[in-house]
Amino acid sequence: MRDNPPQATAHEPERERTRRIGSDRAALEAFYAEHYPDVVRYFTRRLRDPHDVADLVADTFIAAIGGATGFDPRRGRPLAWLLGIAHNTLRRFYRQREADRQVAVRFAGRRLLDADDIVRIEEQIDAEQRARRARGVLRELSTTDRELIELVDIAGLTPREAAHAMGLLPGTVRVRLFRARARLRTAYDIQEEIR
């Protein structure tokens, strides 16, 4: 009984020619020239933008070069294999386009920060940190001194108005304000040094 050669032998030249596109420039050029029109047609039937078509054709051939050693002629002709790669390339393109669209929808109406915005935000952060330290220092003052600072320096009352609001003599308020501000400056400066 005679051994029959395996079926793949009939496809051996086609298989080897396709497998060499990753390492043989002449084989790649012949493969590209033979299949380029079919791949372009595949994408032009599905896409409107010629730039997208050109990109996906290039991506398809790049993927084919990378996967050429895995070509199996028993599963179909080189064109069928290449159009399978094109199909997967198109699916990835659609998935990426949808992901990009979702990002665009999510950020629509939001403007990006420019250099001035960043400077303003940094200044606001610094100011908030200073205010937080100042509030911590304020808590160290007596209740009366803290109220005086809040009425005069924060609420904008005059020392006379603050004295009236708290039932104190104006002279007493001026002295207490002077001393409270001095303690605040000292405590704040110490916190700045620690920081």
pLDDT tens, residue by residue, 6-36 = 444 445 577 788 888 989 899 999 999 999 9
Q: Which of 17, 53, 25, 21 is nearest to 38 (CA)?
A: 53
Q: pLDDT at position 195, please?
A: 56
Domain positions in the chain are 8-107, 115-194
Confidence of residue 134 (pLDDT cuts 50, 70, 90): confident
**Confidence check: pLDDT of 178 > 90:** yes
Three-state DSSP state, 27: helix
Phi, psi for residue 36 in degrees, rounded to 5: -55, -50
**CB burial class (10 A; 0-12, 13-18, 19+) of residue 117?**
exposed
pLDDT-wise least confident of 28-32, 34-38, 49-53, 129-133? 129-133
CA–CA gap between residue 107 and residue 166 (Å, rounded): 52
CA–CA gap between residue 4 and residue 127 (Å, rounded): 87
Q: pLDDT at position 5, please?
A: 40
CATH of span 8-107:
1.10.1740.10
Q: pLDDT at position 54, please?
A: 96
Class of the CATH-defined domain 115-194: mainly alpha
In 108-168, alpha helices (H): 115-138, 143-149, 159-166
- Kindly state the average pLDDT of the residues 132-148: 86
Q: pLDDT at position 139, please?
A: 86
- Kindly state the average pLDDT of the residues 180-186: 87
Is 119:111 a contact under the CB 8 Å cutoff? no
Work out the angle at residue 64's Cα, subtended by the Cα atoms of residues 58 and 69, and round it to the nearest 5 degrees: 160
Confidence of residue 104 (pLDDT cuts 50, 70, 90): confident
Tokens linked to 155: 């609420």
Q: pLDDT at position 10, please?
A: 46
Q: Which of 63, 62, 42, 61 is nearest to 53 (CA)?
A: 42
Is 18:71 a contact under the CB 8 Å cutoff? yes
**What does the pLDDT look like over 63-97, one tens digit per residue?**
999 999 888 888 889 999 999 999 999 999 999 99
Q: pLDDT at position 186, please?
A: 83
Tokens linked to 2: 């005679």
Q: Which residue's entry shows tokens 């659609």?
A: 94
